[in-house]
Amino acid sequence: MIPAKRRKLGAPAAGPVADVIRFPHVAVFLLEKRMGASRRAFLTGLARSKGFRLEDSYSPAVTHVVSEKNSGDEVQAWLETQTPAGDADRSVHLLNMTWFTESMAAGHPVKIESRHRLQVKAKSGPSAVTNTMGAYACQRKTPLEHHNAVLTDALLLLAENADFCTNEGRSVAFKRAASVLKALPGPVRRMEELQGLPCLGEHCQRVIKEILEHGASSEVEMTRHSEHYQAMKALTGIFGVGVKTAEQWHRAGIRHPADLVSSEHKLNRAQRAGVEYYEHLRVPVTKAEADRIGEIVKRAVDAVLLGAEITLTGGFRRGKQTGHDVDFLITHPDEGREEGLLPKVVSWLEARDLLLYQKTNKNSYLEAKEWPARPPSNMDRFERCFSIFKLQRPWAALEEPPQSGERGAAETPGWKAVRVDLVVTPVSQFAFALLGWTGSQLFERDLRRWAGQKGMSLSSHALYDCEQKRYLRATSEEEIFAHLGLEYIPPGERNA
Ligand code: UTP
Ligand code: MN
């Protein structure tokens, strides 16, 4: 039997990544200083051949810096020079070679113990007071309502713009900084209050300082009004359109969804629906609408499989009052009964003219065939339906729709298009799916990174312990937090 994902043998020592990356959430950077270029190249090739992710240069994506014969303070000083843009992520681990060699021997990133860490002298200063905040979003409570919206809106706009420029590292750095500010107990008034907080690089601090002093950041305002940002925001706002496509269209002179209607650009089925319902889908979905859709989905599910259960997840489960879509998990207490459920649910809905668009993917997750520590990417492989619901507006259910008249009602039809994601999970994976689909995105990202750093691999399907070489089962989110050695954070405080 040939494993489906057999590694390429004889990959060049330190060439471009030719091997399968098995631990994408552990991004290792080897410091060349005192190690030397040739030893570094050798170790890089070795690690890559074992499925490790080795970065050629330092970036905010790096999670583990490994050095040889350097003191912690030297590495810390070097790290501070590496972030001219100031996006330094202070959650990066500074490690000695023992972590690296043990990980090579184990064939996976081993859990970081204190003996692996370089000792960095805490900077002595007046303000060792402020900060006990964990550097991972999953270590802290982030409420929905917080005290620093002006600052976080600014940083999140820069994050969004970095996404539009396909600079993920930068985007994540801004999101992390915003998330730290969301978790503060009160509004930031002076820069000194930020001392010692994690994830606030120089660039973020510069933006914050300008807002605190002048009420706004020139960089943020310039970005907000830039043509590229506005066009990318409009185009990526189309259902079915990602940054890559939007960027191509932008280069071809497209600025707005309306430009696509008359252009010769080919749209796929999802994008055609996205353009057609653009004006509907840009209006946020309310909690009341989510609940009404929940009732419809419940009726559909009940009709096709007795005993199936549905759960509202995503932002609404975290307490949000509006969202860009509605996310549901569907399961059945008897494992296996849920198989093939979705096509039947879809037929039920279609027969009642409740769907404007749907695309259903089959479940492609099979634990037995899984590379255990496989990249827990956030694309999971459940049976899943991306859909657009046709939701009747409340007044449309009344006897007399307002001002029916001729077809002039096209501007406010009696229904609203709403994005709905339906995800079916076997009950044995339900807790993982629930944790994975509740979000927020940054919270999930940090959960997976945290797990990686603990020698585990977390996905929306399962948690695998790379050291014990076994899956850790759970029937509740609480158990998963416990497996990860984390304090339980309820959904309402995962708004990182
Ligand atoms: P959403 O994108 O729906 O975000 O994904 P949200 O928090 O509900 O925000 P709004 O209100 O809709 O804008 C919900 C969660 O589901 C996960 C994401 O990581 C996020 O945490 N997700 C999403 C997946 O696990 N897989 C996917 O394919 C999509
Ligand atoms: Mn959602």
pLDDT per residue as tens digits for the range 79-138: 888 765 545 556 789 999 999 999 999 999 999 999 999 998 865 544 444 567 999 999
What is the whole-number distance in angstroms between the Cα of residue 324 and the centre of ligand 2?
Answer: 6
Report how far residue 438's alpha carbon sits from residue 444's, in angstroms, rounded to the nearest whole number: 8
Report how far residue 268's alpha carbon sits from residue 93's, in angstroms, rounded to the nearest whole number: 43
Residue 263 CB neighbours (<10 A)? 13
pLDDT digits (tens, 9 = 90+) for 310-358: 999 999 999 999 999 999 999 999 999 999 999 999 999 999 999 999 9
Which domains does the chain show, CATH number per domain?
A: 16-116 (3.40.50.10190), 137-224 (1.10.150.110), 227-281 (1.10.150.20), 285-432 (3.30.460.10), 437-493 (3.30.210.10)
What is the whole-number distance in angstroms between the Cα of residue 438 and the centre of ligand 1?
Answer: 7
pLDDT digits (tens, 9 = 90+) for 263-308: 888 999 999 999 999 999 999 999 999 999 999 999 999 999 999 9
* Ligand of minimum distance to the alpha carbon of 324: 1
For residue 383, give the DSSP letter: E
What residue's CA is closest to ligand 1, atom 16? 437
What residue's CA is closest to ligand 1, atom 3? 314
pLDDT at residue 13 in the model = 44
pLDDT at residue 8 in the model = 39
Question: Do residues 208 and 151 make contact, with C-beta atoms less than 8 angstroms apart?
Answer: yes
Q: Residue 286 forms beta bridges with which residues?
A: 322
What is the whole-number distance in angstroms between the Cα of residue 320 and the centre of ligand 2?
Answer: 10
Query: How sure is the predictor about 3, in pLDDT bands with cuts at 50, 70 and 90?
Result: very low
Task: Please give the mean pLDDT across all residues of the chain.
Answer: 89
Q: Which residue has the higher pLDDT, 362 or 451?
A: 451
Instruction: State the first-to-last Cα distance of the chain, in angstroms, to the nearest integer.
Output: 44
Burial string for 23-58 (b: 16+ CB within 10 Å, else e) reads bbbbbbbbbeeebeeeebbebbbebbbbbbbbbeeb
Nearest ligand 1 atom to alpha carbon 437: 16
3 state SS for 299-363: HHHHHHCCCCEEEECHHHHCCCCEECCEEEEEECCCCCCCCCHHHHHHHHHHHCCCEEEEEEECC
* Residues found in the chain: 496
Q: Which residue has the higher pLDDT, 286 or 402?
A: 286
For residue 462, give the DSSP letter: -
The helix or strand, by DSSP H or E, that contains position 391, with its residue range, turns out to be strand 383-392
pLDDT at residue 396 in the model = 57
For residue 111, give the DSSP letter: P
Using CB distances shorter than 6 Å, the residues near ligand 1 are: 314-315, 320, 323-325, 327, 378-380, 436-437, 439-441, 444, 460
pLDDT at residue 364 in the model = 81
Q: What is the pTM of this model?
A: 0.81
Nearest ligand 1 atom to alpha carbon 440: 21
What residue's CA is closest to ligand 1, atom 21? 439
What is the whole-number distance in angstroms between the Cα of residue 382 and the centre of ligand 2?
Answer: 16
What residue's CA is closest to ligand 1, atom 11? 323
Residue 427's alpha-carbon distances to 300, 333, 345, 466, in angstroms, are 19, 6, 18, 23
Query: For the chain, what percent of residues have pLDDT higher than 90?
Result: 78
Nearest ligand 1 atom to alpha carbon 379: 28
Residue 260 CB neighbours (<10 A)? 21
